Amino acid sequence: MKVRIKLTEEALGLSASNPKIHEEFITSKSADAAKQEEELAALPASELIEKSMTVFSRDDDGMPIFWDYQIKGFFKDVIGALTEISDKEVKIGKTKLSKFTYKRVVDNYLFVFPRKIRLAPVNGICSRPLRAETMRGDRVALSSSETVPAGTEFEFEVRVLHDALSDLVRQALDYGKLKGFGQWRNSGKGRFEWKEVQ
């Protein structure tokens, strides 16, 4: 299915701006060396950003993008939540969807295309406090992220290898009115509306 998204709230970047952090923690999960190099090359110019900021990777024209796996991560997160609250049993082949199996099902049966999903130009920076409860007491740090504006539209294709997953994809997209794409999505950032297009 081909999907058109319209952000109703600004979305925040997901990529670490520091190439060393990105290489060590993000691209190291990929066994594909060409994809690792592509992602590192797509980070914005280092002199323009803070080292601790999250950013959008850029395409060849310098426009911000989501990577396919970042959209897939949204589906994994939301399908996990839907699985926990549903009292309806969903079977994908012989596998009953549960809080123990949904990640494997999404990884193996749901695919997003194209690899680079182009967005609107970056329109600002969102700074916010990050709070953590640690053994040494509460800690607060400041985090910053690039943003793309509400009203941004983009398209991608979702392919599923089992029909039972199609309904969950639509439910996950409907859930986007509550929880969207990108960093700090629990606060409402990245919320969206969607429609299926030909």
pLDDT of residue 81: 94
Please state whether the peptide bond connecting residue 121 to the residue before it is cis, i.e. omega within 30 degrees of 0: no
Q: Do 59 and 67 contact (CB within 8 A), yes or no? A: no
What are the residue ranges in the chain where pLDDT is below 50? 22, 47-49
Q: Which stretches does DSSP call E strand in 56-191?
A: 57-58, 64-67, 91-92, 95-96, 110-113, 116-118, 124-134, 137-148, 153-160
pLDDT of residue 47: 42
Q: How many CB atoms lie within 10 A of CB 89?
A: 8
For 93, the 3-state DSSP assignment is: coil
Q: Do 11 and 181 contact (CB within 8 A), yes or no? A: yes
Average pLDDT, the chain: 87
pLDDT of residue 48: 44
Q: How many CB atoms lie within 10 A of CB 110?
A: 23
